[in-house]
Amino acid sequence: MISWFFIGLVITILLTPGPTNTLLASSGIQVGIRKSFHLIPAEAFGYLISITLWGMLIGQVSSQLPLLPTVLKLFSAVYIIYLAIKLWRTANVEQQFQQPTIRARELFVATLLNPKALLFASAIFPAIAWTSAAHYVAHILIFLILIIPIAFFWTLIGSFLASNKICWLNPANLQKTASLLLFSFSIPLSYSALLRL
């Protein structure tokens, strides 16, 4: 029921730097890994609400506009390419992780408004997830399970950045790797959308 392609896309997009991941890394820098665990449910709830609302909207509108999912998928592929290029070009720009202590409410709001949620709802989750409760539950559960290790990873990155123990583990290398992964996933996504036109 759940494809490896879906899992790969979710992991890749969740790993890319963005507002939520920046806040998680900041928390890892400021208070460490263990004290940042309380932020993971805030991220999960933010994505759960946002993806579900976008998906329900897309599910209802696509019955009147059957090409909408394909157009959104193409738009998402272009957005992924844009993100890949932006990540690559800004890889050597110094990131500002020093912020006031991150609270769960702030992380929840940042995740709720994160543009990745629309990307997940329109292009990553299969269209059947918005018409079948069983498919929705299966895909959202896998998504929520994948959030846990990735959120932990970002707080771990923050704690490593604070300690400067691993020289190759730096924001520039992470962004370049994420850029290459995003670009590689945009190709099959574009291809599948173009086949449906």
pLDDT, averaged in runs of 10, over the chain (197 residues): 91 85 81 89 96 90 79 77 76 57 84 86 90 95 97 87 65 69 74 74
Contacts of 33 (CB under 8 A, 6+ apart): 152, 155, 156, 159
Place of tokens 């494809």: 3
Residue 74 identity: L
CA distance 181 to 154: 17
Model pLDDT, residue 166 = 60
Helices (H), 32-170: 39-61, 68-89, 104-112, 116-119, 133-163
| Under 8 Å between Cβ of 196 and 62 | no
Model pLDDT, residue 11 = 93
Sign for the CA dihedral angle at 173, 177, 178, 183 comes to positive
CA distance 37 to 56: 30
Number of domains in the chain: 1
Model pLDDT, residue 185 = 67
Q: What size, in residues, is the chain?
A: 197
CA distance 183 to 197: 22
Model pLDDT, residue 129 = 93
Model pLDDT, residue 47 = 97
Q: Hey, how many other C-beta atoms are within 10 angstroms of the C-beta on 75?
A: 15
Domain of 17, in residue numbers:
4-195
Which tokens hold the place of 126? 């299969």
Which tokens hold the place of 183? 């670009």
**4-15 vs 171-195: helix axis angle to the nearest 10?**
140
| Under 8 Å between Cβ of 186 and 32 | no
Which tokens hold the place of 192? 């599948």
